[in-house]
Structure 1
Amino acid sequence: MSDVAVDVLVVGAGPAGSAAALHAARAGHEVLVVEAGPLGRDKTCGDGLTPRAIHQLERLGLADAITSHYVNHGLKLHGYGGDVTAPWPSSAYGTLGSAMPRTAFDEYLARAAIAGGATVWDNATATAPDVIDGTLTRVTVTRSSVESTVRARWVIVADGVRSTFGRQLGREWHRGEVYGIAARSYVSSSRSDDPWMHSHVELRDEDDTILPGYGWIFPLADGTVNLGCGALSTDARPARLNTKKLLAHYARQQRTDWGLGEPERVTSAMLPMGGAVSGVAGRNWMIIGDAAAGVNPLNGEGIDYGLEMAEHAVTLLDAGYADLTDVWPQLLRDRYGEAFLLARTAARLLTYPKFLPAVGPLALRGPVGARLMPTAARLMANLITDEDRDLMARLWRAAGGTVSAVRRGTPLWS
């Protein structure tokens, strides 16, 4: 067994972990990243990159390699006899979106972290965190059957939705709040270069029953599309559907329109959302990204939040705090709390089976849909900022403050 000492240990080389490693290395820290699998982890993900995610990649100097390959212009929503086109609105984040398969995207960011000065160990598992009075003093890392003891001044945990290492530190997922279930596949398509992300909000099973879910098709400009389906669920109203079976049926429904082949590389997962976790920090450690439920409950998007949390985490390290136990959860609540609580409350409505069939036709048909859905797309894509002063931004923030007051005490990085 060997001993390794670094300034920053990052557990997980997904987007949040690699971004944190790159930020920390550029700040002058000695950084070690440990990733349980090979570089380029896969995940049940739509692979879409909103303008907010592209904005964070621009801050890292990594956006051009992605947007030069493919850009999309916004969302197209379909269902209930209507279609609505919702271009990315002008915002502080710009108007460029993109998409990239997760294995390629994650490997790209991990290799950027290496080029930026971080050391990355792949196929390396972090276990046995030794915590004394809230301080994480050492971690056992096993790589090629060889164990190393890693000691770090700070530890950033970005090990994904299951957060195996985070759970060892006490991270708890509160499933009474809204969470997502989804299945994803890659399918050859004659429309792989389509410059729009598509969502079908009227999802029917083989018996033509409307389900409390939605389907998506995100072109990847590589001869394939990312095709998947998802649903929102709570412990009280679990989504009782077989997502993989539904995905196959959805692909058959869209085959002619999209020139689809057969779904491949099908995966499925459950996803914590909207900050509905607790135990996300100790004196010298923080949990970020999907592991911290940094996911918008209205659309399942989490890459943008993961990239932002990575930058916030490293900023805190350089601020000189002696104890992050309360500082990190408070930062997350200040940055995302009201928006996440409001999104969780709105998403809870979608778990009622009769809600979508009642409002779907109104939202997607005629002049009402043409006005309403672009605004909804702005919310779903996380494109309202604190600096925005338009009517929709003011209404969104006012609603967020009201919901936060009503739902005080709701699990939110508590």
Structure 2
Amino acid sequence: MTTPQRTDVLVVGAGPAGSAAAAWAARLGADVVLADAAVFPRDKTCGDGLTPRAIGELDRLGLTDWVRAHTVNQGLRAHGFGQTLHLPWPGGNLPDWGSAIARTELDDYLRTTAIKAGATGIDGARAVDVRWDGGKVAAVVFARGSRGGERFEIECERLVVADGVRSPLGKVLGREWHRDTVYGVAGRCYVSSTKPDDPWISSHLELRGQDGEVLSGYGWIFPLGTDAGGVNLGVGTLATAKRPADVAIKPLMGFYADERREEFELGDELRMPTSALLPMGGAVSNVAGPNWALIGDAAACVNPLNGEGIDYGLETGRLIAELMVSTGSTTGGADLGVIWPAVLREHYGEAFSIARRLAGLVTVPRLLPALGPVGMRSDLLMTLALRWMGNFVTDEDRDRAARVWRWAGRRSIARDARPPFA
């Protein structure tokens, strides 16, 4: 296929955020190019879990039947401090079920969905620079080949940057990650299991190191269904610049697997172990300019309380596409540098602010061992925690738990030295 020389909307990064943006922009009538540095299918470090919030966005894309053909889970099995609680997904204005699909398959299918919607897909092309026209991005410079010997440009009216947690193109545009608020350090692997159809995803909130100390994080085991024949197993810890994570993730993951092997009927081999740093809770600045915007992981749209990012990637992809089309921004028009940060703060600012404040408390030594047993003794508290931690409070919710969460978010963001996305 001949590489296009120009397009209305150029999307860099074909993960859930970028593919959703490309699919929605193409469905809304824009000329779209979706480019990625990798050749698909490709892997991505992730827990692979799809919460009801993510399921809702996949349903908007018309993918419910495809997702249901994979594993379906009904909620979270929370372990810790001598307790095990089964917490169904809260439902309400969101679906009452979740799933888990390996990112190698999920991302490839979402990219295909965008291409079927009309986007032109380009893979194996790494975005390395931009060409400016005043304060606007006139074109993105791509490199191909193992040594980046072949270079070419694609001109665009609007640029959507969805190139992940490291966001190399975002850095070119001035994106800065602030580590004074909480961030994640996580690793995952795949393990065979004789219980791949477990209807619950499991999270161990009492994550211990090899010396028996309680760590500021959690472990997870997400069944992937009979066809996959195994589970996604991983560990994540929380850190800040003041209290960095002093833990080797991959050895910790191996220790965690050993501790859970008998209970979850796990195999011995940890396949494809990978790890990553996760900017969280909108802890980045310069998320947009006159005709460009960062979305998904690139904009640190990751839940500080559970590390979930797929739902926010899908949501921000849809939101930026709708914004560009509704304001005429696919061919000029509104200044995304003003509008997009305001949209992100409107949708996520309060929730991210209180979530990262609470997650930061978990990094305080001895606080989790003191409070964890109290919370785990109450189904009510843990049910509320599941709803808040998973950000299952929608704009339509008017119940008491939703009102309390919004009230806490407003108070929290008013005290932030640097609010989300600022």
Sort the TM-score into its range (normalised by shorter chain): over 0.9
Q: 1:197 aligns with which of 191, 198, 201?
A: 201
* Residues 183 and 268 in structure 1, CA contact (< 8 A), matched pair in contact too: yes
User: What is the CA distance between 1:351 and its match in structure 2?
Assistant: 0.6
Partner-residue secondary structure (3-state), 2:132: strand
Q: 2:283 aligns with which of 268, 276, 280?
A: 276
Partner of 2:252: 246
**Cα distance in 2, alignment partners of residues 353 and 193 from structure 1:** 37
**Cα distance in 2, alignment partners of residues 40 and 295 from structure 1:** 23
Q: 1:180 aligns with which of 176, 180, 184?
A: 184
Partner-residue secondary structure (3-state), 1:92: coil
Q: Spell out the pairing of 1:140-155 with structure 2 (5 A cutoff).
A: 140-144=141-145, 145-155=149-159
Identity among equivalent pairs (%): 52
**Cα distance in 2, alignment partners of residues 230 and 90 from structure 1:** 26
User: What is the CA distance between 1:68 and its match in structure 2?
Assistant: 2.5
Partner of 1:93: 94
Partner of 2:44: 43
User: What is the CA distance between 1:141 and its match in structure 2?
Assistant: 1.8
Partner of 1:7: 8
Partner of 2:57: 56
Partner of 1:225: 231
1:237 aligns with 2:243: yes
**Cα distance in 1, alignment partners of residues 134 and 180 from structure 2:** 30
**Cα distance in 1, alignment partners of residues 419 and 282 from structure 2:** 8
Partner-residue secondary structure (3-state), 1:204: coil
Q: 1:159 aligns with which of 135, 157, 163?
A: 163
Partner of 2:372: 360
User: What is the CA distance between 1:411 and its match in structure 2?
Assistant: 4.2
* Residues 33 and 120 in structure 2, CA contact (< 8 A), matched pair in contact too: yes
Partner-residue secondary structure (3-state), 2:95: coil
Q: 1:2 and 1:79, CA in 2 relative to 1: closer, same or farther beyond 3 A?
A: closer
Q: What is the CA RMSD across the aligned residues, in angstroms?
A: 1.4
Deviations 1:309-330 (A, max 9, x none): 0111011111124311111001
**Cα distance in 2, alignment partners of residues 232 and 40 from structure 1:** 30
Partner-residue secondary structure (3-state), 1:325: helix
**Cα distance in 1, alignment partners of residues 3 and 119 from structure 2:** 19
Match of 1:323, as an amino acid?
Answer: D
Match of 1:268, as an amino acid?
Answer: S
Partner of 1:256: 262
User: What is the CA distance between 1:191 and its match in structure 2?
Assistant: 1.1
Deviations 1:331-385 (A, max 9, x none): 10011100100001110111112111001111113xxx21111111111222111
User: What is the CA distance between 1:131 and its match in structure 2?
Assistant: 2.4
- Taking structure 1 as the reference length, the TM-score comes to 0.97
**Cα distance in 1, alignment partners of residues 133 and 181 from structure 2:** 31
Match of 2:63, as an amino acid?
Answer: L
- Taking structure 2 as the reference length, the TM-score comes to 0.95
Q: 1:316 aligns with which of 302, 320, 323?
A: 323
**Cα distance in 2, alignment partners of residues 159 and 108 from structure 1:** 17
Partner of 1:329: 341
User: What is the CA distance between 1:115 and its match in structure 2?
Assistant: 1.2
Moved over 6 A (4+): none
Deviations 1:263-322 (A, max 9, x none): 110000100000000111111110000000001100000111111101110111111243
1:387 aligns with 2:396: yes
Q: 1:213 aligns with which of 204, 217, 230?
A: 217
Match of 1:356, as an amino acid?
Answer: L
Partner-residue secondary structure (3-state), 1:210: coil
* Residues 216 and 229 in structure 1, CA contact (< 8 A), matched pair in contact too: yes
1:345 aligns with 2:357: yes
* Residues 54 and 63 in structure 1, CA contact (< 8 A), matched pair in contact too: yes
Partner of 1:372: 381
* Residues 40 and 102 in structure 1, CA contact (< 8 A), matched pair in contact too: no
**Cα distance in 1, alignment partners of residues 126 and 91 from structure 2:** 43
Match of 2:71, as an amino acid?
Answer: Y
Structure 1: unaligned runs, 5 residues or longer: none
User: What is the CA distance between 1:3 and its match in structure 2?
Assistant: 6.9
* Residues 14 and 107 in structure 2, CA contact (< 8 A), matched pair in contact too: yes
* Residues 156 and 288 in structure 1, CA contact (< 8 A), matched pair in contact too: yes
* Residues 349 and 419 in structure 2, CA contact (< 8 A), matched pair in contact too: no
* Residues 2 and 148 in structure 1, CA contact (< 8 A), matched pair in contact too: no
Partner of 2:108: 107
**Cα distance in 2, alignment partners of residues 93 and 27 from structure 1:** 24
**Cα distance in 1, alignment partners of residues 420 and 415 from structure 2:** 14
* Residues 174 and 411 in structure 1, CA contact (< 8 A), matched pair in contact too: no
Match of 1:297, as an amino acid?
Answer: P
Partner of 1:121: 122
| Residues matched between the structures, number | 410
1:405 aligns with 2:417: no
* Residues 4 and 151 in structure 1, CA contact (< 8 A), matched pair in contact too: yes
* Residues 3 and 148 in structure 1, CA contact (< 8 A), matched pair in contact too: no
**Cα distance in 1, alignment partners of residues 391 and 63 from structure 2:** 20
Partner of 2:273: 266
User: What is the CA distance between 1:162 and its match in structure 2?
Assistant: 0.5
Match of 2:244, as an amino acid?
Answer: P
Structure 2: unaligned runs, 5 residues or longer: none
